[in-house]
Chains A and B, each alone.
Chain A
Amino acid sequence: MFLIAAPGRPFLVQGDSRVDKKILIIDDSATVRHQVRAALLGNGFEILEAADGVEGLSTITEQPDLAAVICDVNMPRMGGLQMLELAKAKGLMATLPVVMLTTEGQPALVQQAKALGAKGWIVKPFKPELLVATMRKLTAL
């Protein structure tokens, strides 16, 4: 157990239930990333951001303490499904819940994400309270 500090916030104890769960949001829209951040902050979550699948995969690799990932599908450089495929191949998906947050509602894509290990699918626009409930459930808060 050790103490950690964040700017403007009190000391938190790692391993304590009061420590925020770390969520990564991957979306090429800065506005969506901010909306997700606004919905989750203050509800027991700390937010990291990535703008595409390349950044997302890098962050997942470098942050082993991520509690969950929220990921768009259509993004420049690398889309969400391709990122899932690579993350799965690297063995990063075994214990990491990933929820897709996208405008896509095509069942074939939903099935593809499920086969790659995703745990959920949300069609934009999202309802903040529903997103919080979903992430609480997936991270067992």
Chain B
Amino acid sequence: MRNPDNRPIDDMVFDCCKELFSDYSLDVRPRSREEFPAAERLALCGVMGFGGRQMRGALVLAATREPLEKSNPGGFSSQRDWICELANQLMGRVKNRLLNVGVEILLATPAGLSGDNLNPTPGKLRAPQVFAVENGFVCVWIDCELAEGFELLMTPSGSFEAALPEGETILF
């Protein structure tokens, strides 16, 4: 396995993150790492591992408390549980898009972390993608390795039938 140029997968995660929060009626706006205020505290993290023949890695979704409250307006359950579910839904979207470009991965179940001031530093110290959401921030890292000789091409592939889109309901 080797570390790829992360740009294509970062772009995919960026789109998926925007779509995910949009589905919960939240507008996320990309920010540079430098715009992340020093006073902000990442309180919760959801971590999703994934693996497959062509690629493997982990996705980390970290957030301040406000976006979690806004995206779960009923206040159901714990925010730790909710960020795990959001990480799961984000990685599910990434999986479905990877499938559409011919890459099949399997997902692990999510793990959650909570703390006063989390500072995730995934492999190779990749910089996170930072989003401003309502009155808070969301950061996303994706850390992946590709199999030797495999190139991640973001062009539609006929290798697999297209994944069902999020929100889709089908009855058999």
Contact = CB atoms under 8 A, between A and B. Distances in A.
A90 interface: no
A107 B163 contact: yes
Nearest to A124: B89
Given A104-B95, A106-B96, A34 B77 contact: yes
Contacts, number: 110
Interface residues of A, number: 36
Interface in B148-172: 160-172
Contacts of A121: 164, 168-170, 172
Given A31-B85, A125-B89, A74 B74 contact: no
Interface of B: 23-24, 72, 74, 76-78, 81-82, 84-85, 88-89, 91-93, 95-96, 99, 104, 107-109, 160-172
B160 to A, nearest CB: 7
Tell me the dominant secondary structure on chain A's binding face: mixed
B166 to A, nearest CB: 5
A114 B167 contact: no
B166 A124 contact: yes
A124 B109 CA distance: 15
Contacts of B82: 29, 31
Given A30-B76, A31-B82, A119-B172, A110 B89 contact: no
A122 interface: yes
B49 to A, nearest CB: 11
A130 interface: yes
B167 A123 contact: yes
Contact of B92 (A76, A102, A130, A137): A102
Contacts of B104: 106
Contact of B74 (A38, A118, A123, A134): A38
Contacts of A43: none
B169 A130 contact: yes
Nearest to A130: B169
Contacts of B76: 30-31, 34-35, 38
A27 to B, nearest CB: 9
Given A29-B88, A31-B85, A125 B169 contact: no
Centre residue among A28, A119, A131, A138 by max chain B CB count within 10 A: A28
- When A and B form their complex, which 10 residue pairs have the shortest distance between CB atoms, in order from nearest? A103-B92, A34-B76, A105-B163, A105-B164, A30-B77, A31-B77, A107-B161, A29-B85, A120-B171, A105-B96
